[in-house]
Structure 1
Amino acid sequence: MLNLFISPGACAMASHIALEEAGAEHQTTVIDLRQGQQKTPEYLAVNPAGATPALQTDQGVITQNAAILAWVAQTWPEKKLAPVVDVFQFARFNSFNGFLASSLHPALGRLLFSRPPLEGEAKDQATDLALAKLQLVEDHLLEGPWVFGSAYTLSDGYLSVFTRWARQAGLLDSDRFPKLSAHLDAVQARPAVVRMLAAEGLSPV
């Protein structure tokens, strides 16, 4: 059985959503990042990078949300969770997920999770950067109602991780980000996401 290593509320929610959307039989193992469980020898044997998510499969371990999402979409093509047949559109899917991983996630992560917390000018600069990244998605990358228009893909679940964080932090102003706000509400209403949240002991925000 597939085993997904997660930390509830962290970015591994994207991979957890993907498995739920695919209807894949799986289990989850919680890694408490605050307690440092990602640094234990047992977990480092699974993922030497000491981060979640990590997905144990019969063939080995896959890490990084973007890679796991692509694997899930290609493993269950009948679920139509990404345009896996169209080479160009699948590249766009991977490009968007790469942006989330390499640009939006670091910007929000630095602002919200730096230890010690950012203060003063450093916090102001980090806030401006995070808001600018969200604005880029709002204005240019989110076609609406889903990321790529009328069809839901796993990119939508991935994006919702970060808009969820933004809303919790008071950054997702519905007047400034109407498309992102509506998108988060739509994603959180999906049955697969409802199941994911319940499994992680979370509620919609």
Structure 2
Amino acid sequence: MLKFFYSNGSSAVAAHILLEEVAASYEAIKVSIPNGDHLAPKFLRINPKGRIPVLLTPQSTITENPAILEYIAATHKDGATLPLGPDAQAQARSLAAYLCATAHVAFAHNHRGRRWAEQDASVKDMQSNVARNLTDCARFLEQEIDEGPWALGRTYTYCDPYLFLMARWMAVVGLSITAFPKLSAHHDAMLARASTQKVLDIHGLS
């Protein structure tokens, strides 16, 4: 039995969707970021980073979305969400890494600026550039992802729930995914899946 720690509306939505997509056997444990539960001693013993999501497996504790997503895909092969072959797997890792290290960080500057700066002016400067930076990320992804219907082509992979978060990140700062046809089509395809709808309902986002 896997144990999955999440906070409503956080980037944990991606892994949560994948767990449902592959019909994993797991226990979902809510950790409220707004309430500061992720910084409580009990949770920090599980993940000293104080970050969500976290996946506890029978063997280890896994943190960071790219690692969690790939683990779920690799251990639930009946779900066929792990790309086949080293080249396709490298492409999947590349996309997941970009979403984690570039797109998500660009979004985090909107409300987590204190991670990087102390001066109010510096935080406000970061916030003022979030929309531009996310637009740049969306423009890059629009060029890089396959014609679809999925991020890497005709087969749904563990990257797809992660890419799905782009629309939410953009919407928070007043941007629309509809300006990017491939990203918009991908978002619609994700919304049509039962796994996505179930998790959006759990997170109060439906």
Does the pair score TM above 0.5?
yes
- SS of 1:4's partner is strand
Q: Match for residue 182 of structure 1? A: 185
Matched residue, 1:105: 104
Query: Match of 1:4, as an amino acid?
Result: F
1:56 aligned partner: 56
- Measured in 1, the distance between the counterparts of 2:32 and 2:191 equals 24
Distance in 1, matches of 2:199 and 2:177, equals: 25
Offset of 1:129 from its aligned partner? 1.4
How far 1:31 sits from its partner (Å)?
Answer: 1.0
Are the aligned partners of 1:108 and 1:162 in contact in 2 as well (CA < 8 Å)?
A: no
Per the alignment, residue 33 of structure 1 pairs with 33
In structure 2, the CA distance between the partners of 1:109 and 1:122, relative to structure 1 (3 Å rule), is closer
Structure 1 distance, partners of 2:146, 2:51, is 28
Structure 1 residues 173 and 70 mapped into 2: Cα distance closer, same or farther (>3 Å)?
A: closer
Gaps in structure 1 of 5+ consecutive residues: none
CA RMSD of aligned residues (A): 1.9
SS in structure 2 of the partner of residue 111 of structure 1 = coil
Give the letter aligned to residue 142 of structure 2.
Answer: E
Match of 1:128 among 129, 132, 146: 132
CA 66–122 in structure 1, closer or farther in 2 if over 3 Å, else same:
closer
| Structure 2 unmatched ranges of 5 or more | 115-119
Deviations 1:66-117 (A, max 9, x none): 001111111011211021x411111111111011100110011213554679
Alpha carbons of structure 1 residues 45 and 166: separation in structure 2 relative to 1, 3 Å: same
Deviation at residue 37 of structure 1 after TM alignment? 0.9
1:160 maps to 164
Aligned-pair identity (%): 34
SS at match of 1:82: coil
TM-score normalised by length of structure 2: 0.89
The answer to whether the aligner puts 1:197 opposite 2:194 as a matched pair is no
Deviations 1:4-28 (A, max 9, x none): 0001111011111111111001111
- AA partner of residue 94 (structure 1): R
CA distance in 1: counterparts of 2:177 and 2:77, whole angstroms: 36
Runs of 4+ in 1 over 6 A off after TM superposition: none
Partner of 1:141 in structure 2?
A: 145
Name the residue aligned to 1:9.
9
Amino acid across the alignment from 1:136: F
The equivalent residue for 2:117 is none
Structure 2 counterpart of 1:94: 93
TM-score, length-scaled by structure 1: 0.90
